[in-house]
């Protein structure tokens, strides 16, 4: 596994980050305010989680004036799915 794959696993190991990523995949681009409404954690916590997801390449941001829209980058999961497919051969 590569360091990038390790970052993916680490990023998605947290249930709140997984939920945020799933929400962005399901519902499309959203602001921190919209994500906070459904996350059950504070806005600063959501922002910190988004920073981790962005660093792993799982989330992209698009500034729009004073608001930032976040969107999922599901193609970033390719190394994870490749590794899972490879490991499935041992099951």
CATH no. for residue 47?
A: 1.10.10.10
Average pLDDT, integer, range 74-78? 94
Does some domain include residue 33? Answer: yes
Does some domain include residue 63? Answer: yes
Our count of domains for the chain comes to 1
- Among residues 79, 73, 74, the alpha carbon closest in space to that of 4 is found at 79
Does some domain include residue 27? Answer: yes
Does some domain include residue 91? Answer: no
* Cα(36)–Cα(10) distance, integer angstroms: 21
Domain of 54?
3-86
Question: pLDDT band at 91, cuts 50/70/90?
Answer: confident
Residue 33 neighbours by CB under 8 Å, 6+ apart: 43
Residue 44 neighbours by CB under 8 Å, 6+ apart: none
Residue pLDDT, tens place only, 10-50: 999 999 999 999 999 999 999 999 999 988 999 999 999 99
Question: pLDDT band at 1, cuts 50/70/90?
Answer: low
């Amino acid at each position: 596994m590569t360091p990038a794959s390790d970052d993916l696993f680490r990023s998605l190991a947290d249930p709140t980050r997984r939920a945020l990523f799933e929400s962005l995949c399901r519902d499309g681009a959203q602001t921190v305010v919209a994500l906070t409404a459904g996350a059950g954690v504070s806005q600063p916590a959501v922002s910190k989680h988004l920073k981790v997801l962005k660093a792993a390449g799982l989330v992209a941001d698009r500034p729009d004036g004073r608001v930032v829209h976040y969107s999922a980058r599901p193609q970033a999961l390719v190394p994870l799915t490749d590794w899972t497919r490879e490991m499935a051969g041992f099951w």
